[in-house]
Every structure is written in C-alpha cells, then in structure tokens.
Amino acid sequence: MGKRLICLLLCLCLLLPAVGCGYQKDGELVCPLPGAVSSLDPQTASGTAARLVIGSLFEGLCRLDENGEAVPGVAERWECDSTQMEYTFHLRKNASWSDGTPVTADDFRFAIERCLNPATASPNADDLFLIQGARAIYNGEADLSSLGVAAEDDRTLVIRLERASSDFPAMTAALHYMPCNRAYFQESQGHYGLSSQYLLTNGPFALASIYAWQTDPGEREITLVRSETYRGEERVLPATLTYQMDYDNAVDQDPVSALTQGLADVLVLSQEQARQAEEGGCQVLALEDAVTGLLLNPQAAGLESPALREIFLKTLDRQSLLDRRGLEDPEEAQGVMPACVVCGGQPYYADGAWMVPQQDDAVVNGLSSLLDSLELEEMPSITVLCPDDQASIDVANGLLISWNEKLGNAFNIQPMPLRQLQSQVASGDYEAALYPLRAGGVTPYSVLQSFQSTASPALLEDPAYDQAFHTLTFDLSSYRSLEQQLLEEYVFYPLYRDRTYYGLSKNVRGITVSPDQQIDFTQALQK
C-alpha cells in the first residue's frame, strides 16, 4: 500500500509539476528590460523594452501564441468573408479598462485613427495601409469617413482590406492595433502614456499606483499588479510583475548565475548559456524567430558607401562561416526572414527564393579606384562585435580570416555579453556586429520594418528605403522587391537561421514566449 501511494504521488507530481512540486500562484516576478522606456502609448512607443511592458498592460484584438498563431485577445472570435478582404471581430462582453469601463469596438477604431494621423508620428503606421482607405487618409488624400473600419456596435468591429490577406488576424496582435479610449486620451491633453498618471490599460496587469513608473537614475522600474478588471480566458496568477531598467550588473555579465540566484525570472540567453542554464536546473524556451548575420553600420565612419560595404560582404567565404558555427548543424539562411515568418499562410521562402549577397572575390579589382574616390588610403579597419560564446567567436574570427586574406588590412573582434551587444547596437556605437536579427512578428512586414529609419534600433536610416517601405502593398511580390532593395544596401549579410533562447529562473514555471517578442507572465507560478 505504501509503495502504491508513493507511486501515485510521483505520478501526480509529474502531471502537475508546477502546483504539485511547490510552485504557487501570487508570485512576485522580476523581468530586467533590454533598454529604457520613454513612452507606454501603444500607438507611438517603439523598442523591445516598451513592447514588453505594453504587452502586459494592454491587449489587442488577437495575440500570438508560442507557435506564432493568432489566438483570441479582446476578440473572442472572428471570421472573414469568402474574399478574405472583410474581417468581423466579436469582442468579449466582459472586456474592461482598468477603471472598470467597457472596452468597445470604437476604442479599436480610435487607435487606428490615431496612427493614421501623421501628427501622431506612429512608427508603425505603414502596415495599417492594408486597411481600405488607410493610405489615402495618412497621405491627406481622403478623410476618416473612407476608412474601412466600422464599429457596428460596442462589441462588433468590421475591418475591410485593400487586398485579400489570410495573415491579417496575426497583424492585429501588434502594439499599434491595441485599443485607445477616446475620451480618456482627449482628457490627458498630450500626456497620454508618458507617466503612470496618464495611462488607462486593458491588459492582464495594471500599474501598481500613480507612482509605479519610477524614473530616478539607478532606480528605474515599472511595477505592475494583477489587474482587478481583466477577464481573459484564464485567471492571471502572479500578484506583481516588476520590469527593471536598472538592475544588478550580473544580469548582463553572467545571466545564467542571475537566473539561478533569483536576480531575474526570465532572460534572453545565447545558445551556450541556454545549455548551461538547463544544466543548472533552469527551464529554457526556444523560438525559431531569428537570423544571425553580419550587420554593418552605415552611419559609422568609413562605412557610409554602399559600394565599400559590398566589398566587405562579397569577399566572405560563406561555407567556411557556416562550418564554424559548431554547436549544431546550422540551417543556412535564405535571406533576412526567420523560419517563423509566413506570407499568405505559407513559409516566406516556400518557393525556394535565395536572397543573400553572392560571394564574388572579383569585387576587389575595383577597390583601388573606389578608395581613391572616397579619399581613403585603405579599407577601414573595423571591429566586429560578437556574443561572447565560443561558437559566435569562431564565426567572427572567420570573418576576419576572409578579410585579412583578400583586403590587406587588420581587423578585430570584440566579444561581449549578448545583452551588452544588443545595447551597443541600439546606441549606434558600433562598426559591425555578428547580430541576431529577430522577426518581431510572423509577417514579412515586421522584419523589413527593422530597417526603417524610425525603427529602434535604427539599422539603416535611408530615405529611399523608407519611401519604398511606405509603398508596400503587402503581397509577396512587394515584399520581395523591398527585400532586394535591402540586399543592395549591403548592411546585413544573413548567415544562418537562429533561435532566441529564454532562460527561466529555477523558481518559476508557466511563462510562455511568442515570435512578436512578447513574454506572457499570466500563468506563471513561483516557488
């Protein structure tokens, strides 16, 4: 009998690993942010840090799950007509703002209206141009009466598109589609989203108080609590969630130790760090949402010329770099789009397209005349930043070997923790980097947007690219055309498809992540 009881208890512990083995609700979670937050207005905010906080405070029509599929958010269900050009979203009846007032279809229409007003300076307005009339309204060629967004009643929102799109529900998970209460926004008189005092939210977490957003140097953090008015599909389990902008240096320098010591509950890790974290008893989540490649900074001294950047990229020995990856056989990137990106319901590169600069050592034949025209005596002696794991260092050294053999100059690498590398790229203080380009979503738009001048970090800043991006028609042909234009800028050399690894504290379970770089804490349990 005793043995049977022990076996039963072990089975229950396996079936219910969180609650049965000491994990409880009402946890107090901590998430260090990869940068500062200056605005929590979903229609104007940019950058990964703001995206994470807004994802906890707000909820759009849809969310993305860990597989990149659109799942219910405020919309409990939706359907499209036979043309896939008209979508009807049905809002759940108990959706509420943090002050208890109902979230309505007009709140979503108003959010879209705000983005289409150029004065709002929304960095993400362009993908709204898929909506009927949106481009003309943004360009001042039509008024809001022609917008294909109708609040048929408080709980029914109809959106008509310019062209068929099976991907549209996933697009509504983006920040700028999140609702905005018209009356509250107008009462905020220009302060909306700039402090705890001027924010009305509808997500699973709410600001702890009007002092929840601390901005004093060395103490910057945003403290959230479980929302008392949120009524999603599942009850929110954690009691508090603190996003830190200032935190212990160990988080950057030794993230695995930070997780095992409980300094943070979730951190992005390199592949080698993920292996170490698992060996230390931490849970690791992985998303196939990145392409790692060589990023050149077109704003850096000596790298302003596309022709010079072309020489750097076309003299690389691609196969040698792939062979150096080491940890496991890498899947060679076909272009800038990660594996999670789809177009028309199909993987983006399902047609076998190859969008990578081809090796051509003959480009060095024109090097002397190019240097003369640029008034340079030799190729710039650039430093390549790279993550400090051995596999990344090996790949970065492979870059130097190719250049040393063919370009006749000395080049350097500078290994550093992944979070520090991302911060340095975001600041613009780099010449080149072995950089994991993350999708930020599951549509080609979300990747190509990374190279807009308004993106954070700004990786390109080219008016011609911005103009072409502004004219996207959201079909495969237009995406490919813009991708080709990006290819000819020679700022990013895709090497291999990569994963983003999230390590969880040993004391936490139930956190999930999605390709739009959101972290879902709602079902997290803590020891």
For residue 449, give both structure tokens: 């947007």
Buried b (16+ CB within 10 A) or exposed e, 216-239: eeeebbbbbbbbebbebeeebbbe
Length of the chain in residues, anyone?
Answer: 527
Using CA atoms, how far apart are residues 510 and 31, in angstroms rounded to an integer? Answer: 14
Q: Is the bond preceding 118 in cis, omega lying within 30 degrees of 0?
A: no
Cα→Cα distances 293→69, 198, 342, 378, Å: 26, 41, 20, 24
pLDDT above 90 (res 19): no
Residue where the block lists tokens 């972290």: 519
Q: Which residue has the tokens 């598109």?
A: 161
Residues 6+ apart with CB under 8 A from 48: 33, 34, 35, 456, 517
Q: Is the pLDDT of residue 17 over 60?
A: no
Shortest CA distance to 409 belongs to which of 441, 392, 438, 431?
431
pLDDT given at position 456 = 86
For residue 5, pLDDT over 50 is answered with: no
What per-residue confidence (pLDDT) applies to 3?
A: 42
Name the pLDDT band for 409 (thresholds 50, 70, 90). Answer: confident
Structure tokens at 143: 């008024």
Secondary structure letter of residue 164 according to DSSP: -
State mean pLDDT over 255-284.
95
Predicted pLDDT of residue 27: 98
Instruction: Name the token pair of 113.
Output: 């209206």
Q: pLDDT band at 74, cuts 50/70/90?
A: very high
Nearest C-alpha neighbor of 225 from the set 210, 244, 242, 213: 242
> Is the predicted pLDDT of residue 18 greater than 50, yes or no?
no
- Examine the pLDDT at 287 and tell me if it is beyond 50: yes
pLDDT value at residue 503: 98
pLDDT of residue 327: 58
**Average pLDDT over the chain, rounded to an integer:** 94
pLDDT-derived band at 14 (thresholds 50, 70, 90) equals: very low
Q: Is the pLDDT of residue 43 over 90?
A: yes
Percent with pLDDT over 90 in the chain: 92
Q: Give the model's pLDDT for residue 21.
A: 63
Q: CB of 122 within 8 A of CB of 176?
A: yes
Q: What is the pLDDT averaged over residues 56-79? A: 98
Nearest by Cα to 303 from 396, 379, 410: 379
**Rounded to an integer, what distance in angstroms lies between the CA atom of residue 193 and that of residue 200?**
8
**Secondary structure E strands in 62-146:** 62-64, 70-72, 75-80, 86-91
Contacts 24+ apart (CB under 8 A), 459-467: 459/295, 459/425, 459/491, 459/492, 460/298, 460/486, 460/489, 460/491, 461/298, 461/299, 462/298, 462/489, 465/489
The residue whose two tokens read 């008024």 is 143
Residue 417 to residues 168, 272, 393, 421, 512: CA-CA distances in angstroms? 37, 12, 12, 6, 24
- Chain mean position to CA 390: 25
Tell me the pLDDT tens digit for each residue of 130-175: 999 999 999 999 999 999 999 999 999 999 999 999 999 999 999 9
In the DSSP assignment, the letter for residue 102 is B
Nearest 5°: the CA angle 427, 374, 365 is 110
pLDDT value at position 345?
92
Residue 7 has pLDDT above 70, yes or no: no
- Distances in whole angstroms, Cα of residue 252 to Cα of each of 71, 93, 221, 418: 33, 43, 17, 8
Asked if residue 256 has pLDDT above 60, the reply is: yes
Name all domains of the chain by residue range, CATH numbers in brackets: 48-187 (3.90.76.10), 288-500 (3.10.105.10)
Residue type, 463: P
Q: How far is 103 from 180, CA to CA, in rounded Å?
A: 9
Task: Show the beta-strand stretches assigned E in 376-452.
Answer: 383-387, 412-416, 432-438
CA dihedral 205, 210, 212, 217 (to 10 degrees): 150
Angle at 335 between CA 300 and CA 432, to 5 degrees: 20
What's the pLDDT tens digit per position in 447-500?
A: 999 999 989 899 999 999 999 999 999 999 999 999 999 999 999 999 999 999
